[in-house]
Amino acid sequence: MNEIFHLIAFNVVILILIIADFFFVSKKKTLANAIFLTFLWIFLGLSFSIYIYIWGGKNLFYEYLTAYCVEKSLSVDNIFVFMLIFQKMNIDGEYQRKLLFLGIFSALIFRVIMILMVSSLLHSFHFMMWIFGVLLFYAGVAAFQSPEDGKNFGGVVLKKAAAYLNISEKNHDGRFFISENGVTKITILTVTIFCIEICDIVFAFDSIPALFSITDDRFVIYTSNVFAIIGLRSLYIVFAKFVGELHYLKYGVALILCLIGTKMMLSNYIHFDSYVYLLVIAGILIVSSGMSAIKNHMKKSSGEK
């Protein structure tokens, strides 16, 4: 079986899972259901590594797991910014689900384009590894700062859009376009989905080159990317509830970006085994999550006193 067959089969299965998730599984809009779906998507993403092991061997197995962990951790920044955009645009929770579905679905299409583009650049111009490394390191340093840029971004886009486009001020009722006195206007939902798409494009310029620092296998990069993205909707609901308890996780993600950027810049001089890279990434995530849990416990303990 060639790679094309694997890719087609994978996309068919993913499409079925996405449709089932949107129209059936996630209809129950509770926190417990969101937590269940979050762990289910993580389980499926990690379980796919067994398929990678059977198909491609031990080395690709480690590379897939590392790529999945990196992409999943980088998706934390996506969620933080999406929250801020929804707040800025005053989007109700019932419509956030619809916008997240559209955003994630379109993100999957755009990631394919990005993977092909970055792969072509790195194979044609090896010095791009150094350029991407510098950009990732800078993104990591910037990620240590507050994610207020997402909020400002939403406000700037809304202000600019209002100056050039006909935006309806009426209740959108879940519609992207509305007719007022015979004139078709866009609603705030259209502006919001545009903000989300632009943010995802910006995030893709970080995440896709980061994955190429782990492996040059495009199937591994694509599948790990897909499994990390499709669970964002349920993960968003969970994060919206517990975002205040994940104080250090963002710093862990920033450190991972700096590490990946450094690895790309020094790729001609320093080489790590795939399993070592996986252990380092997993260790950073575990430590940052553990420190967040300890801080929350200490705050609750001091509050009880």
Residue 81 is encoded by which pair of tokens? 């910014």
Listed range (66-75, 189-198, 264-273) with the worst mean pLDDT: 264-273
pLDDT band at 150 (very low <50, low <70, confident <90, very high): very low
State the pLDDT at residue 305.
45
State the pLDDT at residue 76.
72
CA–CA dist 117, 64 (Å, integer): 20
Q: What is the pLDDT of residues 29-62, one digit of tens each?
A: 677 888 888 888 889 999 999 999 988 888 899 9
What value does the mean pLDDT take over residues 67-79?
A: 80
For residue 210, the Cα-to-chain-centroid distance in whole angstroms is 13
What value does the mean pLDDT take over residues 172-191?
A: 76
State the pLDDT at residue 109.
81
Q: Which residue has the higher pLDDT, 142 or 62?
A: 62
One-letter amino acid for residue 190 of the chain: T
- In the chain, the largest separation of any two C-alpha atoms, in whole Å, equals 66
Residue 4 is encoded by which pair of tokens? 């094309």
Among candidate residues 97, 114, 102, the one with its CA nearest the CA of residue 195: 102
Q: Residue 138: is it exposed, middle or buried by C-beta count within 10 angstroms (0-12/13-18/19+)?
A: middle
Phi-psi region at 50: left, alpha or beta (left = phi > 0; alpha = psi -120 to 50): alpha
pTM over 0.85: no
> Domain locations in the chain?
3-304
What value does the mean pLDDT take over residues 289-293?
A: 78
User: What are 167's strand-pairing partners?
Assistant: 186
Among candidate residues 221, 224, 23, 263, the one with its CA nearest the CA of residue 134: 263
H, E, C per residue of 19-68: HHHHHCHHHCCCHHHHHHHHHHHHHHHHHHHHHHHHHHCHHHHHHHHHHH
pLDDT band at 171 (very low <50, low <70, confident <90, very high): low
What value does the mean pLDDT take over residues 76-87?
A: 74
Percent of the chain scoring above 90 in pLDDT: 5
Using only C-alpha atoms, what is the Rg of the chain?
20
State the pLDDT at residue 151.
45
State the pLDDT at residue 280.
80
SS3 label, residue 127: coil
State the pLDDT at residue 35.
84
Residue 222 is encoded by which pair of tokens? 């694509």
DSSP at 169:
-
DSSP at 166:
-
State the pLDDT at residue 263.
75
State the pLDDT at residue 50.
93
Q: In this structure, are residues 196 and 81 in contact, taking their beta carbons and an 8 Å threshold?
A: no
Q: Is 90 exceeded by the pLDDT of residue 15?
A: no
Q: In this structure, are residues 133 and 214 in contact, taking their beta carbons and an 8 Å threshold?
A: no
CA–CA dist 107, 71 (Å, integer): 13
